[in-house]
Amino acid sequence: MTFEKFVFYVFAAVLVFAATMVITRKNPVHSALFLVLAFFTSAGIWLLAEAEFLAIVLVLVYVGAVMVLFLFVVMMLDIDTAVLRSGFIQHLPVGLLVAGAMVLEIFLVVGPANFGLEKYAAPVRHAADYSNTQELGSVLYTVYMYPFEIAAVILLVAIIAAIGLTMRKRPETKHQNPSEQVRVKSTDRVRLVKMDAEK
């Protein structure tokens, strides 16, 4: 076993372990943290497959941004796992049956019979100075320019939709008005009232 293969198996084992933990942990925060581990290990596997750019992006975007957001949301929401887990045992046999059938189907279609090495030759190894970031960039802004622009428009729509749906002026929310705060005078704060002494 070469060193590379050894690294692959280590990463693969950790990945499978982390993925299993994601769906079996009771505490959603633990699940999210295991998902971070799963992303890291898959980034490692992508590095082995010479997809350096994608590996870095996976760590930066998913671990750095998406998962942090995920953790925030999970910590802010009070999720009652007991409700989510009710009926788990009851539905387990059906779920296992469907999952088993899907695994079998996927193995038959995507497995070595159709996508084996004799059908699709392994890609050629590139030299160490080969930059796949540059390769991606050179097609992204030429051949795939149109889809790239549409993707940008989709992000714009997402921004409009998110702001449009969440930003609202509620009458009960209180706002600070700094200019009024600065211009305030002592007479605005304390009102002296003259009144006769009570007997």
Residue ranges of alpha helices (H) inside the chain are 3-24, 28-48, 52-57, 67-76, 81-85, 88-110, 112-115, 132-140, 145-166, 178-182, 186-189
Q: How far is the CB of 56 from another protein (least distance, A)?
A: 23
Looking at 121, 157, 193, 197, which residue binds another protein (CB under 8 A)? Answer: 157
Rounded-to-10 torsion of CA 180, 185, 189, 190: -170
Q: How far apart are the first and last CA of the chain?
A: 102
Q: How far is the CB of 163 from another protein (least distance, A)?
A: 8
Q: How far is CA 199 from CA 195, 196, in A?
A: 12, 9
**Residue list 103-142, contact with another protein (CB under 8 A):** 109-110, 114-115, 119, 142
Q: How far is the CB of 157 from another protein (least distance, A)?
A: 5
Q: Does 99 bind another protein (CB under 8 A)?
A: no
Q: How far is the CB of 161 from another protein (least distance, A)?
A: 3
* Closer Cβ to another protein, 75 or 143, answer by number: 143
HEC string of 6-43 equals HHHHHHHHHHHHHHHHHHHCCCHHHHHHHHHHHHHHHH
* Closer Cβ to another protein, 93 or 116, answer by number: 116
Q: Does 150 bind another protein (CB under 8 A)?
A: yes
Looking at 65, 98, 140, 145, which residue binds another protein (CB under 8 A)? Answer: 145
Binding stretches for another protein (CB under 8 A): 109-110, 114-115, 119, 142-147, 150-151, 153-154, 156-158, 160-161, 164-165, 168
